[in-house]
Structure 1
């Protein structure tokens, strides 16, 4: 797209289906590398990635030539397939339906990167559900509590 200039920063958040703790510290770095490859192959820019055993945060610089929903669909479907092919868990690995997407200005990137890098510290204080609801409230997103998570 000639003469198109943009600067779009999006934090994407999604959970393991049923919010199960299936992302082991033994292989989470391999998943993150794989997801980095998916984002790079889509010609988008990964800025930060981290998470917990039950969810993931990804900060991307996204160009306007791809739909955010398409990018997240590709990340979730390809990484699920990769995890299942590795046979790291008993049964079938799946990401939960849906995702959160939160936009930031360039001046906020340092704080967002630090937040993503320090997931383990944040979750000593609050649960993923509390964290996610705080994002929804901070960004003034209307939601219904009963539709946020499928829990097992």
Structure 2
């Protein structure tokens, strides 16, 4: 094949350090989500939707054929942290958790995952981030040790 082609869809989730509800301002959170989408685009990962609540974010994007999941998450967190720290002095010590969750999805699941991410505020009125993340890990058959999932 003369060309390298791919379309890998990935749902990535990561939390603020210690799941602190640092992103309570809705306007700032919307700007952060847009900024996260821009970071993804700069990494050649097409953002499909970015959302979340005060203590975590969800990214639905493509994964560029030249990127690794680990690099995309690292660069996304790094750039978003710098942006937040510049946006407001209250974020001077802001940090994301060390880890993340990344789940591949099929093209037929895009609409459902988009809807799920768009409804995060409503969803988290009933379900905690920890329970949500445990459910996703179980659904995707990811083995995990509860002692090492949270930081």
Aligning the two structures, in what range does the TM-score lie when normalised by the shorter sequence? over 0.9
Q: Is the 8 A contact 1:7 1:62 kept in 2?
A: yes
Q: Is the 8 A contact 2:41 2:47 kept in 1?
A: yes
Show the counterpart of 1:48.
49
Show the counterpart of 2:20.
20
Q: How many matched pairs?
A: 150
Question: Structure 2 CA distance, aligned partners of 1:122 and 1:60?
Answer: 21
97-106 or 22-31: bigger deviation:
22-31
Distance change >3 Å, CA 5–CA 84, structure 1 → 2: same
Within 5 Å, which residues of 2 pair with 1:65-76? 65-76=66-77
Distance change >3 Å, CA 74–CA 2, structure 1 → 2: farther
Q: With structure 1 as the length reference, what TM-score do the two structures score?
A: 0.94
SS at match of 1:92: coil
Show the counterpart of 1:123.
124
Q: CA deviation at 1:130?
A: 0.1
Q: Is the 8 A contact 2:84 2:91 kept in 1?
A: no
Residue 4 (structure 1) aligned with residue 4 (structure 2): yes
Distance change >3 Å, CA 114–CA 86, structure 1 → 2: same
If each structure's helix is expressed as a fraction of its own residues, which one has the higher value? Answer: 2
27-36 or 74-83: bigger deviation:
27-36
34-43 or 52-61: bigger deviation:
34-43
Q: With structure 2 as the length reference, what TM-score do the two structures score?
A: 0.94
SS at match of 2:117: helix
SS at match of 1:83: helix
Structure possessing the higher relative contact order (Cα contacts under 8 Å, 6 or more residues apart):
1
Show the counterpart of 1:142.
143
